[in-house]
């Protein structure tokens, strides 16, 4: 074994090693039989190491690229790579070619997935900002990269031009998938900064590929000028045109004429996988490496076709999760920290790493000044443009294979990538607190909608069974042309580790359903069709469907952000428990329960939770037939407080339809109960009486409205009165207030038995399996600036649009202040 600046040179006699004898005579001539056990060991060690490092680094909010580099460096010659047991049993030199073969095959398909997941439609040429940021940042990085490459004291002074090209291109590249993941984690995907950063990242990626292909075509594998440069570049350009004008339309035509009913056969998938190998072989012949053909073929697949998702499902887990760690090991085996420090000092390394990180930040900030982008956004975009990934390692390895980069320069840039990847996301989480445009809209509650005006409603759906109850409740809400409902229907999809960048970037109304798994895509289509039918059947309803992709732990932030963006007055959520055939409720999904709880705490408007116990039956019996005269019995139980006033406002909106009969039951505390009330209860009671008076006055001539008062002294008498009400007249829907932070004598004794705080005391009782009725229940919580401010004080600082209490205060006080003024002025009719 000899040591050179380009790595260790190992010579061995394969015949003597076979005769030496760790194999039996019958298989000594079979290299496959000899390599298979070692390869299985290598596969196991690489996957175990990567997974352990990934799970250790993920809580620190590091991107997967950090674990990938650490996985490789762990087995570098300076760490474990020179250990005897590693060289003899884990990564022996004589099986390195087998390891590299499988690693390169995994890399080819991984680059294909990279091209498959890149949506060029994200490049908005009408907006010059991402284009300018990307081009200026890339040029600045290329110039700085060349300067740092030839910096005195940075590696061996004997350098070649090809090395400067590979170094600077790797220096300037941006990894789009990891950038999209960082934005998703920080809740910045929907922000203007996030969209600009993603568009700039795609442009940078494409420019990087062009420079990379140009470099491979210009220089031979010896790092010198390629004598076949003209042939290499021209043939590659012809292949690019062939992919765009021949392969892309041909693949689209084949799928359109052979795929029936949206079902893709396995043959289509294998056809695509074979196409990857053929395209890779063609570009290898062109002299620009096989990964170029794989990337171009991935871009050629129609973006809106289901085949993209099927290929992702077939390949992602196997390639990224099992085979790609082999490539990271190869990268680590080529790095040598001890050898690098023999040519590069600590000061030089620190200078190169800090300069590498600051170049794109400074260039983006300068662009921001001229483009009138906020400097904080410019800083964030510049930081994100430093996101590195697999493509950066590919470029470095290409330079290493062609002897353009020696061990010291290769290792130096690998360490720089590691530091840059570690810094990006934590730096943004600490330093970037976006100032979202404050949404100044007054009608944050249903009660605020006076007269005939449009009511904005944000409905949330997890699964298709949630839809029927919500759509029927919306139809019962009396939408008309003069008083329409503007409905934003959100299909909530959990963000998992396998979610691709193409799915993340389309996290808005324009999302193509082909990006989802087949089950989610089919369910999303069903949900959209159901809401579309709601709009067709009623001229007073305008529906817009949206798909929100987010982890369950932060899904409430997307809901609240959308509610504020759309300026809705009411968020309608499904209860996390579903009804069984006997009318009982299941245990439900606890993640959905946490979402409901968080939305109630942070919502910018009023919130309703629907316990659906037969709303579908209501629709099938009456709403389907225009001539049906069957009355739908709706009961509103009024206890007192702002939530009950909001619930009454929603019930009031239903008045005026022939199919609806509304009964409002107000529970009034008796004389004995009034002895224990305080000042706060008296204040709320006066406001309640004002609103009840207004309701009775305006509905006095409506025969479909009945108002009843029942005197009770405690919670037990209240429950008894509700049971009697149900026995006398069975109701289809109960509407109640949540009664959050409201103490009233009529619910005394029930708080200790409340098992579902999100429903409140009365709502939990109505939805309880011990209760005899099977009516649906709508629990309403009115928006309160005080309650939201208290919740906001406990909120994490970086939420991608989450506001602090101070920022929220100026436009969150109107409801509280107005009711307080009404109380102090003594407004009585």
One DSSP character per residue, 647-703 reads: HHHHHHHTTT-TTEEEEEEEEEE-HHHHTT--HHHHHHHHHHHHHHHHHHHHTTT-T
Taking CA 151 as the corner, what is the angle to CA 150 and CA 153, rounded to the nearest 5 degrees?
Answer: 115
- Torsional sign, CA 298, 303, 307, 309: positive
Nearest to 380 by CA among 574, 623, 192, 575: 192
- Distance of alpha carbon 765 from alpha carbon 245, whole angstroms: 65
Q: Judge whether 811 and 676 are in contact, CB under 8 Å.
A: no
What is the band of 538 on the pLDDT scale with cuts at 50, 70, 90? confident
| Amino acid 519: pLDDT | 59
| Amino acid 479: pLDDT | 84
Residues facing residue 314 across a β-bridge: none
Tens of pLDDT, residues 68-89: 889 888 988 888 877 777 777 7
Tens of pLDDT, residues 242-295: 988 888 888 888 877 776 655 666 777 788 888 899 999 998 888 888 889 999
- Distance of alpha carbon 187 from alpha carbon 505, whole angstroms: 12
- Distance of alpha carbon 517 from alpha carbon 471, whole angstroms: 25
| Amino acid 121: pLDDT | 67
pTM > 0.85: no
Q: How many CB atoms lie within 10 A of CB 317?
A: 12
Q: Tokens in use for 127?
A: 């907006």
Q: How many CB atoms lie within 10 A of CB 745?
A: 24
Q: Tokens in use for 160?
A: 């070649």
| Amino acid 238: pLDDT | 92
Distances (CA, A) of 23 to 18, 90, 790: 7, 17, 72
Tens of pLDDT, residues 588-634: 778 888 999 999 988 889 999 998 877 654 433 444 434 344 678 89
Q: Judge whether 708 and 665 are in contact, CB under 8 Å.
A: yes
Place of tokens 């919670």: 715
| Amino acid 25: pLDDT | 39
- Distance of alpha carbon 802 from alpha carbon 190, whole angstroms: 13
Place of tokens 């474990």: 80
Nearest to 472 by CA among 649, 613, 646: 613
Distances (CA, A) of 161 to 228, 351, 409, 480: 18, 22, 13, 72
Domain 2-431 has CATH 1.20.1530.20: yes
- Distance of alpha carbon 344 from alpha carbon 721, whole angstroms: 84
Q: What does the domain layout of the chain look like in residue ranges?
A: 2-431, 455-825
Q: What share of the chain is helix, strand, coil (3-state, %, to 5)?
A: 60, 10, 30
| CATH number of 455-825, picked from 3.40.50.12370, 3.40.50.300, 3.40.50.2300, 3.40.50.11900 | 3.40.50.12370
Would 2-431 and 455-825 be classified into the same CATH topology? no
What is the band of 505 on the pLDDT scale with cuts at 50, 70, 90? very low
| Amino acid 162: pLDDT | 81
3-state class (DSSP) for residue 567? coil
Q: Give the lowest-confidence range in 199-203, 708-712, 782-786.
A: 782-786
- Distance of alpha carbon 649 from alpha carbon 477, whole angstroms: 11
Residues above pLDDT 90, as percent of the chain: 11
| Amino acid 193: pLDDT | 86
Q: How many CB atoms lie within 10 A of CB 289?
A: 23
């Amino acid at each position: 074994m000899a040591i050179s600046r380009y790595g260790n040179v190992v010579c061995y006699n394969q015949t003597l090693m076979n005769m030496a004898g760790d194999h039996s005579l019958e298989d000594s001539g079979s290299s496959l039989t000899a390599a298979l056990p070692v390869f299985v060991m290598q596969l196991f060690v690489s996957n175990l190491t990567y997974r352990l490092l990934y799970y250790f680094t993920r809580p620190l909010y590091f991107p997967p690229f950090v674990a990938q580099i650490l996985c490789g460096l762990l087995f570098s010659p300076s760490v474990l790579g020179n250990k005897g047991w590693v060289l003899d049993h884990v990564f022996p030199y004589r099986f390195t070619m087998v390891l590299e073969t499988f690693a390169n095959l995994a890399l080819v398909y991984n680059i294909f997935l990279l091209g498959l997941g890149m949506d060029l439609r994200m490049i908005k040429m009408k907006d010059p900002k991402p284009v300018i940021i990307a081009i200026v940042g890339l040029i600045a990085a290329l110039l700085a990269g060349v300067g740092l490459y030839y910096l005195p004291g940075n590696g061996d002074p004997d350098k070649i031009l090809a090395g400067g090209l590979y170094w600077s291109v790797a220096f300037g590249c941006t990894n789009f998938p990891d950038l999209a993941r960082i934005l998703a984690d920080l809740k910045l995907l929907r922000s203007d900064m996030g969209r600009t950063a993603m568009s700039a990242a795609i442009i940078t990626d494409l420019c990087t590929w062009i420079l990379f292909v140009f470099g491979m075509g210009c220089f031979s594998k010896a790092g010198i000028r390629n004598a076949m440069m003209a042939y290499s570049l021209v043939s590659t350009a012809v292949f690019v045109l062939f992919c765009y004008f021949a392969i892309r339309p041909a693949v689209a035509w084949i799928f359109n004429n052979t795929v029936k009913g949206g079902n893709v056969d396995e043959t289509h998938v294998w056809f695509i996988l074979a196409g990857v190998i053929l395209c890779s072989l063609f570009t290898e012949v062109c002299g620009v490496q096989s990964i170029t053909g794989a990337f171009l073929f991935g871009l050629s697949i129609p973006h809106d076709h289901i085949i993209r998702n099927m290929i992702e499902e077939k390949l992602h887990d196997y390639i990224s999760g099992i085979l790609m760690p082999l490539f990271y090991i190869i990268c680590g085996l080529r790095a040598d920290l001890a050898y690098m420090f023999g040519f590069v000092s600590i000061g030089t390394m620190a200078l190169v790493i800090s300069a590498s990180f600051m170049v794109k930040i400074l260039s983006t900030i300068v662009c921001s000044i001229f483009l009138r982008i906020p400097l904080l956004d410019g800083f964030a975009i510049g930081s994100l443009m430093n996101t590195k990934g697999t493509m950066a390692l590919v470029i470095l390895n290409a330079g290493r294979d062609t002897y353009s980069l020696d061990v010291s320069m290769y290792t130096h840039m690998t360490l720089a990538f590691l530091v840059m990847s570690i810094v990006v996301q934590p730096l943004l989480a600490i330093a970037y607190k976006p100032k979202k445009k404050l949404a100044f809209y007054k009608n944050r509650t249903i009660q605020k909608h006076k007269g005939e005006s449009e009511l904005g409603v944000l409905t949330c759906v997890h699964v298709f069974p949630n839809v029927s109850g919500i759509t029927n409740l919306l139809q019962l809400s009396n939408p008309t042309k003069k008083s329409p409902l503007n409905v934003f229907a959100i299909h909530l999809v959990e963000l998992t580790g396998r979610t691709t960048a193409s799915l993340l970037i389309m996290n808005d109304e324009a999302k193509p359903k082909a990006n989802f798994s087949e089950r989610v895509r089919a369910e999303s289509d069903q949900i959209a069709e159901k809401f579309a039918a709601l709009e067709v059947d009623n001229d007073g309803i305008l529906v817009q469907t949206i798909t929100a992709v987010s982890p369950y732990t932060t899904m409430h932030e997307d809901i609240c952000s959308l509610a504020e963006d759309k300026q809705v007055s009411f968020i309608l959520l499904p209860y996390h428990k579903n009804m069984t055939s006997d009318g009982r409720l299941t245990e439900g999904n606890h993640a959905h329960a946490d979402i409901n709880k968080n939305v109630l705490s942070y919502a910018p408007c009023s919130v309703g939770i629907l316990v659906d116990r037969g709303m579908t039956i209501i629709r099938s019996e009456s709403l389907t037939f225009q001539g049906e005269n069957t009355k739908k019995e709706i009961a509103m139980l009024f206890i007192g407080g702002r939530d009950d006033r909001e619930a009454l406002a929603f019930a009031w909106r239903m008045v005026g339809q022939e199919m609806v009969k509304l009964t409002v039951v107000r529970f009034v505390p008796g004389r004995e109960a009034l002895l224990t009330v305080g000042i706060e209860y008296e204040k709320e009671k006066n406001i309640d009486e004002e609103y009840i008076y207004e309701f009775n006055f305006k509905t006095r001539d409506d025969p479909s409205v009945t108002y009843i008062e029942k005197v009770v002294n405690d919670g037990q008498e209240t429950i008894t009165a509700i049971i009697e009400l149900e026995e006398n007249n069975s109701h289809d829907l109960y509407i109640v207030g949540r009664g959050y932070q409201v103490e009233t004598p009529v619910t005394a004794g029930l708080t200790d038995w409340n098992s579902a705080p999100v429903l409140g005391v009365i709502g939990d009782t109505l939805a309880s399996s011990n209760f005899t009725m099977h009516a649906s229940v709508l629990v309403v919580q009115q928006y309160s600036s005080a309650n939201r401010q208290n919740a906001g004080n406990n909120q994490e600082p970086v939420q991608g649009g989450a506001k602090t209490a101070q920022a929220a205060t100026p436009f969150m006080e109107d409801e509280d202040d107005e009711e307080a003024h009404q109380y102090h002025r003594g407004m009585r009719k």
